[in-house]
Amino acid sequence: MQPARLLAALAPGTPVSGASLAAQAGVTRAAIWKQIETLRARGLPIEARGATGYRLPWPVQMLDATQISEALPAEVGDSLGALEVHWELDSTSSELQRRGAGAADCSIVLAETQTAGRGRRGRQWLSPPGLNLYLSFLKRFEQGFAALSGLSLAIGVIVLRALEALGVQGAGLKWPNDLLAIEHGRPGGKLAGILVELSGEYQGPCAAIIGVGLNLRMTPALRLQAGQPTSDLAALTAGVPPDRNRVAAALITALMDGLEQFERDGLPAFMADYRRHDLLRGQSLQLSGALGEFAGMGAGVDASGALLVLLTDGSLHRVDSADVSVRPT
């Protein structure tokens, strides 16, 4: 049985016996057990309950391009270049990169799982099947790189708007564009990561591949593997995150609307929302960048999207690129 079919059989969250899975697939129970182990190794917490069989601790909605399309407003659906859902890719962003000039503007690729999910600064992005969302969006711009400074911050605001549209509260932004859960009024675990990759010309046509990884359910084992504090939509929705296809549709809608707004009005159109959701302002920060390690107090962002940090000598330092962490109080 293919892993996608096996996950689909377990998706309702009700127990399914190894014998019935084996009969459906025309294979032995040992072969099913091997596939279950493969899905477990990928991060799915499949339980085994004696004779009743295998089950997932909660229902999972399989990603489905038709269901996602049906949940899109008509004008958004009509403007998409492509909408593809794959079971497995190395990386949805790498897939769009490979398409190059052949990919239409506003093409979207999603995968149930990624074997080489990429994060910022060369980090890995954990991508277990069935639990989270991995989506990449190709957007072409006429204006060239020069006009795209600040795009990365705007995308953070756009993803936050998608969560708000789904009725999910309790998330904020960590510069440049991580979405964090707010825990006890402070920046908490990472909910979503964004990777923006640009190609093309400095003053001519260029393209942005925008990769979004959004956690819906992180298991304890995955949290350990992540190597940094993580959170998920389940934590913000009393354990019942919205349907994954609805989340995908809300993300796509917010990206279509927001990128059009960015193209027309630039970063200023996003600044008020950014400032409202800025989790680093007033926090004690530790930064590491080209200038080495330093500490200071978050003091917002400037009009170009740079992070402002108040140093102990009272001066304001502008940061274009750095790794930032919030110091525990």
Active site residues: 120, 190, 327
* C-beta of 28 vs 124, nearer to ligand BTN: 124
Which parts of 73-132 interact with ligand BTN (CB under 6 A)? 91-93, 114, 117-120, 123, 125
Binding mask 33-72 vs ligand BTN (x if CB under 6 A, - otherwise)? ----------------------------------------
Binding mask 212-251 vs ligand BTN (x if CB under 6 A, - otherwise)? xx--------------------------------------
* C-beta of 36 vs 126, nearer to ligand BTN: 126
- Local structure of 329: helix, strand or coil: coil
Q: Cβ of residue 118: shortest distance to ligand BTN, in angstroms?
A: 4
* C-beta of 172 vs 211, nearer to ligand BTN: 211
Q: Cβ of residue 124: shortest distance to ligand BTN, in angstroms?
A: 9
Q: Applying CB under 6 A, does 266 fall inside the site for ligand BTN?
A: no
Which parts of 151-210 interact with ligand BTN (CB under 6 A)? 178, 193-195
Q: Cβ of residue 217: shortest distance to ligand BTN, in angstroms?
A: 15
Question: How many residues belong to the site for ligand BTN (CB under 6 A)?
Answer: 20
* C-beta of 35 vs 230, nearer to ligand BTN: 230
Q: Cβ of residue 284: shortest distance to ligand BTN, in angstroms?
A: 22
Closest CA to 232 of 276, 165, 181: 181
Distance CA 125, CA 255 (A): 21
Give me the residue whose beta carbon is nearest to ligand BTN: 193
Is 120 within 8 Å of 148 (Cβ atoms)?
no
Contact residues for ligand BTN, defined by CB under 6 A: 91-93, 114, 117-120, 123, 125, 134-136, 178, 193-195, 211-213
